[in-house]
C-alpha cells in the first residue's frame, strides 16, 4: 500500500488534534500547507501549487527545506488541491490519500474539495480518498456492497447520495433503508452504528459516508 497525507489550505483550528504526530506516512502539501507542515516539524515529500499566498521570504524557506517543489501558474483552471491529487494518483500511484485542511473556513472551498472527487478523472479513485478534520471523517463510495468500521470517537454516521442513486440499502444501522431510489442529492444525517461495523449497498451513483461527533 502506498499511502500519503495531503495538507491543503483550510483553517488549522479544524485539524485533528494529533496531526503533528502523523509523521510515519509521507506528506504532500498544497501551497501554504507546506509552510504549515514545516511549522509542525514535518517536511513534506512534495510541495505543489502556485504559492501565491506566500511572502517571498516564506517561499525561500520552502525552497530551502523541501527538496521537491512543483510550481504552477497562478492563473489556472485547477486548484492546488486538484494538482496534488493528480500527482498522488498519476505519478505516485497512491492507494490511499488522507486530506487534511479540506473543511472549515470558506464554504466554496469545502464544496470544491468535495465535488472535485466527482470529476471523471478522480471518480475511479474516490474510494481511496478520505477527508479528515477535528470532527468528521468523509469518504465516497461507488456502487456495490460496502462494510465500514466505526472509527474511534465517532458517534454518528451519515449517508449522503451525491448523485442520483438506485437501490440504497442500510442493513444494520439504527435507522435502516431498503432498496430506495433518489433522483437528487440528499442527506441522511445522525444515524448511528448498532455494532462496530455497518454494511450498506446501492446499484448506481455515488454515496458519501460521514462519521462524526459533536
Residues 48-75: what's their mean pLDDT? 91
Count up the domains in the chain and report the number: 2
Q: Which of 104, 134, 164 delimits the end of a domain?
A: 134
Residues 125 and 25 in one domain: yes
Strand partners, 168: 180
Q: For 3-34, what is each residue's pLDDT tens digit? A: 999 999 889 999 998 988 888 999 999 989 99
Residue 160 has pLDDT above 90, yes or no: yes
CA angle, 25 as apex, 64 and 125 as ends, to 5°? 105
How far is Cα 25 from Cα 214, in angstroms, rounded to an integer? 28
pLDDT digits (tens, 9 = 90+) for 190-199: 999 999 999 9
- CATH number for the domain spanning 81: value is 3.40.50.10240
Phi-psi category of residue 80: left, alpha or beta, with phi > 0 → left and psi -120 to 50 → alpha = alpha
CB 38 within 8 A of CB 61: yes
| Mean pLDDT over each residue of the chain, to the nearest integer | 94
Predicted pLDDT of residue 74: 76
Give the residue from 194, 150, 141 showing the smallest Cα distance to 172. 194
pLDDT digits (tens, 9 = 90+) for 26-59: 999 998 999 999 999 999 999 999 888 889 999 9
Backbone torsions φ then ψ of 114, nearest 5 degrees: -80, -50
| Cβ proximity of 37 and 131 under 8 Å | no
| Grid coordinates belonging to 152 | 474511534
Nearest to 179 by CA among 201, 158, 199, 152: 201
Judged against a pLDDT cut of 90, whether residue 147 lies above it is answered with: yes
Whole-number pLDDT of residue 52: 83
Q: Residue 76's CB: how many other CB atoms inside 10 A?
A: 12
Range of the domain at 8: 1-134
Distance CA 209, CA 38 (A): 31
Mean pLDDT over 170-182 rounds to: 98
* Residues 22 and 63 grouped into a single domain: yes
* Per-residue pLDDT, 77: 82
pLDDT tens digits along 102-139:
998 889 989 999 999 999 999 999 999 999 999 999 99
Does 118 lie in the same domain as 48? yes
Same domain, 94 and 167: no
**For 97, what's the count of Cα atoms within 13 Å in the CB-facing half-sphere?**
27
Amino acid at each position: 500500500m502506498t499511502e500519503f497525507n495531503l495538507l491543503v489550505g483550510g483553517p488549522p483550528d479544524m485539524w485533528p488534534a494529533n496531526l503533528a504526530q502523523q509523521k510515519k506516512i509521507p506528506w504532500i502539501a498544497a501551497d501554504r500547507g507546506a509552510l504549515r507542515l514545516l511549522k509542525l516539524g514535518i517536511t513534506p515529500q512534495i510541495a505543489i501549487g502556485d504559492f501565491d499566498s506566500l511572502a517571498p521570504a516564506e517561499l525561500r524557506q520552502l525552497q530551502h527545506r523541501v527538496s521537491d517543489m512543483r510550481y504552477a501558474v497562478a492563473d489556472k483552471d485547477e486548484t492546488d488541491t486538484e494538482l496534488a491529487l493528480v500527482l498522488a494518483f498519476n505519478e505516485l500511484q497512491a492507494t490511499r490519500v488522507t486530506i487534511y485542511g479540506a473543511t472549515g473556513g470558506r464554504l466554496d472551498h469545502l464544496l470544491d474539495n468535495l465535488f472535485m472527487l466527482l470529476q471523471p478523472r478522480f471518480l475511479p479513485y474516490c474510494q481511496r480518498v478520505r477527508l479528515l478534520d477535528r470532527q468528521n471523517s468523509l469518504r465516497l463510495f461507488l456502487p456495490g456492497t460496502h462494510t465500514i468500521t466505526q472509527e474511534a470517537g465517532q458517534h454518528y454516521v451519515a449517508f449522503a447520495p451525491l448523485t442520483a442513486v438506485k437501490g440504497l440499502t442500510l442493513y444494520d444501522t439504527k435507522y435502516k433503508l431498503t432498496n430506495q431510489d433518489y433522483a437528487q442529492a440528499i442527506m441522511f444525517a445522525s444515524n448511528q452504528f448498532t455494532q462496530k461495523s455497518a454494511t450498506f449497498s446501492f446499484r448506481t451513483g455515488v454515496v458519501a459516508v460521514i462519521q462524526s461527533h459533536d
